Amino acid sequence: MKAIILCGGFGTRYNLDNHKKILKPLLKVKRVSILERIINLYANQGINQFILLGGFKFDKLKKFSKKFRNLNVMAINTGLETNTAGRLLKVKHLVDKKENFLFTYGDSITDFNLKKAFLKKNREMYLERVDAN
């Protein structure tokens, strides 16, 4: 199963008073970036393919994506001005029509159990896919 993560925004509110503009998903909390925390949370629950949708500061995102050796992490430049839906549309060819995928923001940290998040009907399919990996 794939996780598609939005990482392309300008971080307008955060960067408003910040002279050194940064990519919010790469902001570190206790020496670990938000995006790395998200990827680790998903990876610990069986997800091993990640598509990072970038735009702003894409070079930083591309460099970040190379640090994961045991996971398939791909950074794709979806453009500076592309909106959320537009970013997803630009990578729809990377997801099979019958495949479930996760879609999330790259600057939001949460802790959850992915198996419990799926509807009961889809849970068995998810478990089968994760167990197959």
User: What is the number of structural domains in the chain?
Assistant: 1
Digit-coded pLDDT (tens) for 90-113: 999 999 888 888 999 998 888 888
23 or 125, which is more confident?
Answer: 23
Give the CATH number for residue 50.
3.90.550.10
Distance CA 52, CA 108 (A): 14
Residue 75 burial (CB < 10 Å; 0-12/13-18/19+)? buried
Domain carrying residue 113: 2-132
In the prediction, which pLDDT does 23 show? 82
